[in-house]
Amino acid sequence: MKLQMDLEQIFIDVAQMQQTHTILLIDRGVMDGQAYVNEDVWQAILDETGWSTIQLRDKRYEAVVHMMTAAEGAEEFYAIEKERESIEQARTIDKRLIEAWVGHPQFNIVKNTKKGFKTKIDYCLKRVLTFIGMPQPTNLTRKYLLAANKPNIEINVPCGVKKEHFQLEETFITTRVGQANILRKVGKNDAFTYSHEMRYEIKGEKIQKKRQITAREYIEMIVSPDLTKQKMMKTRQCFIYERQYFIVETFLNIEHFPSILRVEMTNETKKLKLPPFLKVLREVTNDNAYETWSMAAVDYIMPESDVFAISEAILEERANDPTQVLLMERINNRPGSARSSRKASDASLAPLKGTGLVAEITPAQMEENLKK
């Protein structure tokens, strides 16, 4: 890994000496090594070197494009005799490589399609051009509003699915360039990365430019906040499902705590398979009410229709959840609960009933008295 870092630095130095803008494409990243060792060995490497996952994965590379092995979806082109791994071994390693990069803020997976390898290359190029701010004819990002209204929502992914959890802060700043300038601070456990994003239009084309910045640059730029916007506080959860990268962001300082599912799609993806363990309310890809720019307004109010629909969806889900029904039964039968107290009272007063020494009331009347 140290050798790879040294080689990368040589090419970075060469690129910085050029008299023009340069894009450096690297065939392998240092996080790839995690796919070939177990968790104990990987943790030992981090402890011995003083590195962290945030440093190696998120700070070191501006963007990551994973081109899926031919053994997954293009098996006829996987030449076993020329490869060291069988098809099953290649699929296993490919899955571990993907998991190694889960959590990177600019992570893209390029799948194999029936349209051939050229289409795969074209999509890879499109993602690179999009990242550096070149205008593209289509928006590949899809967004969905989830039926959730809690700040501490926890995505219960299936067993074996890797998930990463981060804290996220977004600050709008005022500059002379761009219609929207956003500073981002992302990380956890006292390890953070910083980035700057500019959004603007040229001849009707919407353009986004993102770049990583140092902590010093972040501190220098954050002194000029846009006073018409509030700092956005979020939690971000990232995971892979069916070879697709998903990101769920929950807004912590907006009333009702909306959660947005975000996913990058390819042009060839005709129908997106959403994770069945998420309750999706509706798609909000082109809804201005759920653009970060709009939601950061100091007077932003979440659409009332969505607030009501989310509440209804949550109540319906609870009503159909057998574990919730079982939980209520346990609560009602627990000593000290209204139902158990009523049963105890009935049992203790049974010998006195009919003697005139106690007032006989109906169960409904007792329930009402207990509530009072």
On whether residue 317 sits in a domain, the answer given is: no
Last residue of a domain, one of 132, 162, 181: 132
- Closest by alpha carbon to 297, among 351, 349, 255? 255
Which residue type does 197 have?
E
308 in a structural domain:
no
> Do 157 and 273 sit in the same domain of this protein?
yes
Specify the pTM.
0.71
Given this model, what pLDDT does residue 304 score?
95
Q: Could you tell me if 115 and 162 lie in one domain? A: no
Q: Domain for residue 309, yes or no?
A: no
Judge contact between 172 and 178, C-beta under 8 A.
Answer: no
* Residue range 201-232, pLDDT digits in tens: 766 666 778 888 999 999 999 998 998 999 99
Q: What residues contact residue 119 under an 8 Å CB cut-off, 6+ apart?
A: 113, 268
List pLDDT tens digits, range 362-372.
555 555 554 54
pLDDT at 334: 60
Q: Give 365's Cβ-side CA count (13 Å radius).
A: 5
Same domain, 174 and 219: yes
pLDDT in the model for residue 330: 60
Q: What is the CA radius of gyration of the chain?
A: 27
Mean of the pLDDT values across residues 74-88?
75
- In a shared domain, residues 2 and 81: yes
* 152 membership: H or E segment, kind and range: none
Same domain, 19 and 77: yes
Domains: count for the chain: 3
Which residue range forms the structural domain that includes residue 218?
140-301
Angle at 191 between CA 186 and CA 196, to 5 degrees: 35
Amino acid in position 87: I
- CATH assignment at residue 156: 2.40.320.10
Confidence band (pLDDT; 50, 70, 90) for 264? confident
Residues 273 and 169 reside in one and the same domain: yes
Q: Is residue 310 part of a domain?
A: no
Q: Is 109 helix (H, G, I), strand (E, B) or coil?
A: strand
- 216's tokens: 């010093």
Does some domain include residue 266?
yes
pLDDT tens, residue by residue, 158-205:
988 889 999 999 999 987 655 678 999 999 887 899 999 887 776 666
257 lies in the same domain as 277? yes
Strand-pair category, 280-283 with 259-264: unpaired
**Burial readout 167-177 (b: 16 or more C-beta within 10 A, e: otherwise):** ebbbbbbeeee
Give CA separation, 116 vs 5, 73, 291, 305, 319, in Å. Answer: 33, 11, 35, 44, 47
- Structure token pair of residue 129: 């051009």
- Please report the pLDDT score of residue 248 as a whole number: 96
Which pLDDT score, from 0 to 100, does residue 358 have?
46
Domain membership flag for residue 177: yes
Both 273 and 327 in one domain: the answer is: no
User: What pLDDT was estimated at residue 84?
Assistant: 72
- The residue among 269, 301, 333 that closes a domain is 301
Cβ contact 85:93 at 8 Å? yes
Domain endpoint, select from 301, 336, 361: 301
pLDDT, the chain, mean = 83
pLDDT of the residue at 172:
93
Nearest to 68 by CA among 90, 36, 89, 100: 90
